[in-house]
Chains A and B, each alone.
Chain A
Amino acid sequence: MRRYLIGLSVATLAAVSVGISEAGPARAVNDCDFEFATSNPDVYKPQITGRGLAGCDTPPDSHQVQLALEYEQGGRWVVASVKTDNTIPPPFRAGGHRYEVSAACYSGTWRMAVAIRGTIQGHTFQFEDHSGTVDIPASVCHPRF
């Protein structure tokens, strides 16, 4: 029994020391993710819709999402519609938070774009991303001009 206790103590000490050496200094990690719901915008004539979702493992102090629908004009992306949402997203495993933006559908090339900013532990963060594009012919939605 005594031998067993001594063995257990040694094992416990070893485990504790391994735990300390493995833990090391705290490492910074990312907390949140944003995903577009589809590869490119939904074309629900007479409108076009962009959808996405965000999730954070632990709640940041603030979290602002601007989800936009953009169309291409003269080699530049022009914002057709943008929606701002300041909800703190729950983790994906709890369903995350959904975002949606719509605009009138006109023919042309479209994409979704997201700009996120906020604060966590007193530090600011920013994130930007855009989806793939969809080409909408004039046979599907009228030309803008």
Chain B
Amino acid sequence: MSDDETVQPVSLPIDPENPPEFPGKLPRELSRELCDRLQAIAEEISPYLGPEHRAIKALNDASHELMITVPFRPRYAEYTPEE
């Protein structure tokens, strides 16, 4: 999957007897928005906890996990795949 437009959430309500298959991907814009929200939380708690606190590390880890769920968009390092 390489196109953000193809990432759609599952339809609700979910039938527990027949659960749908989740896409396992986030649209890029949604992922970016969520990461920026996590950043805002981290910046808000930083003056209380200090920049090295594990809560800030956890928020940064969470944003990393969200970023790697976007459809891969290779932008550099052009090569020719071997046949």
Contacts and interface: CB of A to CB of B under 8 A. Distances in A.
B39 A42 contact: yes
A91 B73 CA distance: 11
14 contacts: A26-B80, A29-B81, A31-B74, A31-B78, A39-B32, A42-B39, A42-B42, A43-B43, A44-B51, A45-B47, A51-B64, A57-B72, A98-B64, A121-B80
B77 interface: yes
B80 A28 contact: yes
A101 interface: no
Interface residues of B, number: 28
Given A35-B67, A37-B63, A42-B42, A56 B51 contact: no
Interface string A13-46: 0000000000100111111111101110011111
Contacts, number: 111
Contact of B79 (A29, A63, A126): A29
Contacts of B83: 23, 26
B68 interface: yes
A123 B79 contact: yes
B68 A31 contact: no
B72 A39 contact: no
Given A47-B51, A96-B68, A32 B77 contact: yes
Nearest to B50: A44
A96 B72 CA distance: 11
Interface in A39-96: 39, 42-47, 49, 51, 53, 55-58, 60, 63, 91-93, 95-96
A138 interface: no
